Chain A
């Protein structure tokens, strides 16, 4: 093969800049800036002098622990309920499946406060279901950490369901057929073939779900109320602090941000190394 005439001055840098698709890069940079600037705002306005003292405040640690534990519990609940739900939506045919699919995304669309009110109406002490929980078992959900988890599951599970359903639809079903010919029943096919194959999708969905649960505010404060140590998660603590001491609110926001970043980075590392 004969080489084409070499172009003069075609250095690696010249070559590189000629290929940068500015139509994509420019909006990408603006988008990134847009996402990062509020964070910069927090960092600039943070009261660094008193930061150390504020962070170790037992109230802050209590709220942080409550946030982390409830959002993790909410993610686990979402996995247990959401993965089978995603499977049903992706792999079975039943009348009204499209409608159910649309309904699953409702919590994404309605304002979380409305979701909280709806939860109260159903699971509250006088709610459609809650009144029986109360009269039969003496159980009241609102104002307990369990209610925080319920509120978080309500708003965060759709993220998991949508993610997992997408992964299921993208998965090659012929592998499931192959497993069936080897004697695997439906449950075995699901646990030994389908699940491992969509694990990355489940992981991504779970991370989204966890992040959404961690940041959840509206449904939580409405359904679970706000009491330090019981139902006051970090976002609620941030909101309350905002009423009186905006600096404290910035500190709390930064703590929540850094902790969630650390968790996500660790998870990602784990994920990649598997």
Chain B
């Protein structure tokens, strides 16, 4: 049985570099630990940079992918989409980029960082492989009695949103505009997980997060849907990067995500095209 390399799960922001280093070290150690003289297939590393909200699903998909492609080790690098785009622009070696919004992908496309051949075949702006809808998340028991987006305008309801600078913040803005509401949040969090944390801990009465986050949080939060969420459907584009050393395998990963990965995505609350 081939040795399964340890994978480091890297969620959240700020720690991604440490994680990347840890992952690199772990892989290095595995490579050095010797295969006991058994057959040694050429091991290829596939580095996937993915939005933090994809942490759980991509980890699961990567496991299936590696089972099917034993010669490939998928290195997952999770962080905020904007940060990842920044790293790609700085020449970080990576094969695939999966963004949590189209705007960030556009930046990557504009910089010419997508693999031209792949883009010509699958889409110049990347391939949308998942969608996510906003939901109101409230702490268990819903202490402020929130039932609609309109309830968030009340002064007695403290609310956490994503900051405008990050994709979920953009989506929040669109949804509020569609509803014609103005809400004064107490905090603009750096990503959707931070919003979720504030809700889970009961520090705020409500937060706008994605449906996937509500599902992953289980009992710790309660999700409340609202009609305007449709207007702010968040699209996740994916693309093979120009930097990729093996674009074929990168393309295979993208195909896998859109194919076998789709049920996993749906189970986690994503919509798939």
Q: Taking beta carbons and an 8 Å cutoff, which residues of A are in contact with B?
A: 111, 113, 117, 120-121, 124-126, 142-143, 218, 221-222, 224-228, 230-232, 236, 239-244, 246
Contacts and interface: CB of A to CB of B under 8 A. Distances in A.
B80 interface: yes
Interface string B186-205: 11111000100110011110
Contact of B83 (A121, A143, A242): A242
A231 B187 contact: yes
Contact of B163 (A113, A124, A226): A226
B190 A240 contact: yes
Contacts of A120: 201, 203
A121 B201 contact: yes
B15 interface: yes
Contacts of B190: 221, 226, 236, 239-240, 243
Nearest to B205: A125
B201 A126 contact: yes
Nearest to A117: B197
Contacts of B70: none
Given A113-B14, A218-B14, A246 B187 contact: no
A239 B190 CA distance: 8
18 contacts: A111-B14, A113-B12, A117-B197, A124-B203, A142-B186, A142-B203, A143-B158, A218-B14, A225-B186, A225-B198, A226-B187, A226-B190, A227-B186, A227-B188, A228-B188, A243-B82, A243-B163, A246-B86
Interface string B176-189: 00000000011111
Nearest to B18: A111
Contacts of B250: none
Contacts of A225: 160, 186-189, 198
Contacts of A117: 197
B205 to A, nearest CB: 9
Contacts of B67: none
A234 B128 CA distance: 35
Residue in A117, A126, A232 whose Cβ sees the most chain B Cβ within 10 Å:
A126
Contacts of A226: 163, 187-190
B166 interface: yes
Contact of B187 (A143, A218, A242): A143
A143 B202 CA distance: 13
Nearest to A142: B203
A94 B109 CA distance: 64
B252 to A, nearest CB: 31
B35 interface: no
A116 to B, nearest CB: 10
B165 A244 contact: yes
Q: Which 5 A-B pairs have the closest CB atoms?
A: A225-B187, A243-B82, A243-B165, A126-B202, A143-B186
Contacts of A218: 14
Given A124-B201, A221-B194, A243 B14 contact: no
Contacts of B164: 244
A225 B162 CA distance: 11
A246 B107 CA distance: 12
A141 B228 CA distance: 32
Residue in B12, B15, B189 whose Cβ sees the most chain A Cβ within 10 Å:
B189
B271 to A, nearest CB: 24
Contacts of A224: 187
Contacts of B188: 225-228, 232, 240
A120 B201 CA distance: 8
Contacts of B189: 221, 225-226
Interface in B76-132: 80, 82-83, 86
Nearest to B169: A243
A232 B164 CA distance: 13
B82 A242 contact: yes
Given A124-B203, A243-B163, 11 more contacts: A120-B201, A125-B201, A125-B203, A126-B202, A225-B187, A226-B188, A227-B188, A230-B186, A231-B187, A240-B190, A243-B83
